[in-house]
Amino acid sequence: MRELPVLSIVIPCYNEEKVLPVTAPEFLGELEHLAGRGKISKDSYILFVNDGSKDATWDIIKNLSLENPHFRGISQSRNRGHQNAVLAGLMDARKRADITISIDCDGQDDIHAMEAMVDAYHGGADVVYGVRSKRTTDTFFKRFTAESFYRLMNWMGAEVVFNHADYRLLSSRVLDALAQFKEVNIFLRGMVPLIGFNSTSVYYERHERLAGESHYPLKKMIALAFDGITSLSIRPIRMITGVGALISVLGLIAILWAIIMRVSGNTVDGWASLVCIVAFLGGIQLLCLGIIGEYVGKTYLETKGRPRYIISERTPGENVREKGNIDDRSNLL
């Protein structure tokens, strides 16, 4: 009989003092439910990752760990962003758990979908994506921008699962493969599909945030999309090449036309048209330089090889692995 897997529920937290007391008992209840039904080991646990919160989030996590041994926590030395926080939790759980489920702590993702994810794992899946079945609770603007985000990502060459964020189950061998990805610019939604292995999806309805405020306004969504595209695809560079070739052809035609008009003596003063052309080409050139500069900047950051996160503290009772041990690379990634 197959040994029951140890599950680690990885939950990134940034300034979540209002919502944590509400959702932590729900996560614990689902963990106990799965263990009680014999689907996961009773040694399974919940791992909170404090992403440099400025409020009482870390104090709440420490208190939770003292109240119940199924609660654990690690704290980053500073705020490094949602994706780095998720990665920190996944890599910390890699040598302690057989499977991980990453989920946000705001209660919007349906925690009861975890059971279907674990069932899919027992059925042979190494990756199980949590996918929103519909967006009826979203405003038109939110729905339009979110769906446009996924379409833009795929069109630009960054392979992502439509309507999937960071709610997913990963097996230990997928985590081992993910640990081999060394890039500093992290976009897990696009990196996980690159790993491969047998995957499936579980569909669920998303709820309203239980407390607190969203940390992903439109500005951050646009920044996330731009980071994902430039981290996973070179299609924008190729598009620049195509635009440059097209403008060159049009420019050559315009030069020939100007020569013909000059020879025929039909030229007139063209100040307005000249200004328009210069302004248009100047704008295109600056845009192209900006996109190229983004890639150059990312290359610069990658060559530095800086840590993607640094764990500064663990909840009481957490055993820190021996310094220098290969299993403790989570502090250095």
How confident is the model over 59-73, as pLDDT tens digits? 999 999 898 999 999
Please compute the mean of the pLDDT values over residues 27-37 and round it to a whole number. 91
| pLDDT surpasses 60 at 331 | no
> What confidence tier does 308 reach under pLDDT thresholds 50, 70, 90?
confident
Write down the pLDDT at residue 159: 73
SS3 content of the chain, % helix, strand, coil (to 5): 50, 15, 35
Neighbours of 45 (CB within 10 A): 21
pTM of the model: 0.69
| pLDDT surpasses 80 at 244 | no
Q: Rounded to an integer, what is the distance from CA 101 to the centroid of its chain? A: 14
Please compute the mean of the pLDDT values over residues 28-37 and round it to a whole number. 91
Domain ranges of the chain: 7-217+307-331, 235-304
- Tens-digit pLDDT profile for residues 118-170: 999 999 999 999 888 776 666 666 666 666 766 766 666 667 777 777 889 99
Contact by Cβ (8 Å): 148, 182: no
Which amino acid is residue 318, in one-letter code? E
Q: At the topology level of CATH, where does 7-217+307-331 sit?
A: Spore Coat Polysaccharide Biosynthesis Protein SpsA; Chain A (3.90.550)
- Tens-digit pLDDT profile for residues 267-281: 566 655 665 676 667
